[in-house]
Chains A and B, each alone.
Chain A
Amino acid sequence: DQQVKQNSPSLSVQEGRISILNCDYTNSMFDYFLWYKKYPAEGPTFLISISSIKDKNEDGRFTVFLNKSAKHLSLHIVPSQPGDSAVYFCAASADSNYQLIWGAGTKLIIKP
């Protein structure tokens, strides 16, 4: 029973264009969402987060959008750069301890 789903195992985008990574969830109690980035042979690192009281959060080239009615969030990277090539994990939390439920990840490949 996957409560957080990233349906695209991989995504290929041209350098300079927009990358859009998607994440769907099933638990309506989730109220905090995060994106982590992972390079090979390294642990995931925190990228950006959003609380359910917002529908958008922006940090430089990275913007996360939350659509609560659709139980969907997306990460936009504009413009995409070669260093953005990594696996991106979506995670969600529903309790005050912020225990995270993770998606399976999407591998983003930025083509030169």
Chain B
Amino acid sequence: DAGVIQSPRHEVTEMGQEVTLRCKPISGHDYLFWYRQTMMRGLELLIYFNNNVPIDDSGMPEDRFSAKMPNASFSTLKIQPSEPRDSAVYFCASRRDPSDTQYFGPGTRLTVL
């Protein structure tokens, strides 16, 4: 199994630009999570999906952030417009069911100039 796949691995963009991060969960996993890691706040859960349906988006910082999961094998996290304070590593994770552990992708390092 290829594990959770994230793209791009690195993204450098200018303030005000739209950024789209992509995630392919492990096949057969019904849950998908988006996290953000910063030095100050550690790992923060942004949103998670169950069977492609957003369950809890209370961690999404602002309306500039949106996430979709159009099918079981693909999810996107979009930031529009991006700001320098959005610079962080964004992780996607998936799991099979509530009793399963979460499997993380390698992350996308986002730098907003």
Contacts and interface: CB of A to CB of B under 8 A. Distances in A.
A binds B: yes
A9 to B, nearest CB: 9
Contact of B98 (A43, A89, A98, A102): A98
B-side interface mostly: strand
Q: Determine which residue in B41, B43, B55 has the highest number of CB atoms from chain A within 10 A of its CB, and name it.
A: B43
Nearest to A98: B98
A104 B106 contact: no
B104 interface: yes
A102 B42 contact: yes
Contacts of B98: 96-98
Interface residues of B, number: 21
Interface residues of A, number: 21
A43 B42 contact: no
B104 A43 contact: yes
Contacts of A34: 101
A59 interface: no
Interface in A15-60: 34, 36, 41-46, 49
Contacts of A36: 104
26 contacts: A34-B101, A42-B106, A42-B107, A43-B4, A44-B91, A44-B104, A45-B103, A46-B102, A46-B103, A49-B101, A89-B42, A96-B98, A97-B55, A97-B98, A98-B98, A98-B99, A99-B45, A99-B56, A100-B45, A100-B102, A102-B42, A102-B45, A103-B42, A104-B42, A104-B43, A105-B42
